[in-house]
Amino acid sequence: MAKAILGIGDALVTTCMAETGLPHAWHAGERARTVGRLSLFADMRRQRDFLYVRMNAAQLDRKSLPCPNLSLSPCLGR
């Protein structure tokens, strides 16, 4: 999907500029951010990292506020 978005080239940015009135730099940045996120999730999916839950241990004696036990893993469908 990321390759397809990049494959469209500047036609995508030009169309978005015409429809929204926002500058080229804004749309180019959004395209780069979107492609980056899609690539990240695709890499995680290929590596199957999403199957392994990482636990952040509770810090009950923490001074400001107690830190609860939180699961740190992306929410991806299988």
Give a yes or no: residue 24 inside a domain: yes
Residue 46 pLDDT exceeds 70: yes
**Burial class of residue 13 in the structure, from the number of CB atoms within 10 Å of its CB (0-12 exposed, 13-18 middle, 19+ buried):** buried
Q: How many domains does the chain have?
A: 1
Give a yes or no: residue 57 inside a domain: no
Higher pLDDT, 55 or 13: 13
Please give the helix or strand (H or E) that residue 72 lies within, else none: strand 70-72
24-41 pLDDT, tens digit each: 999 999 999 999 999 998
Q: Which domain holds residue 22?
A: 1-47
Give a yes or no: residue 77 inside a domain: no
pTM: 0.60
Give a yes or no: residue 65 inside a domain: no
Give a yes or no: residue 61 inside a domain: no
Q: What is the pLDDT averaged over residues 54-71? A: 70
Give a yes or no: residue 5 inside a domain: yes
Residue 77 pLDDT exceeds 50: no
Residue 60 pLDDT exceeds 80: no
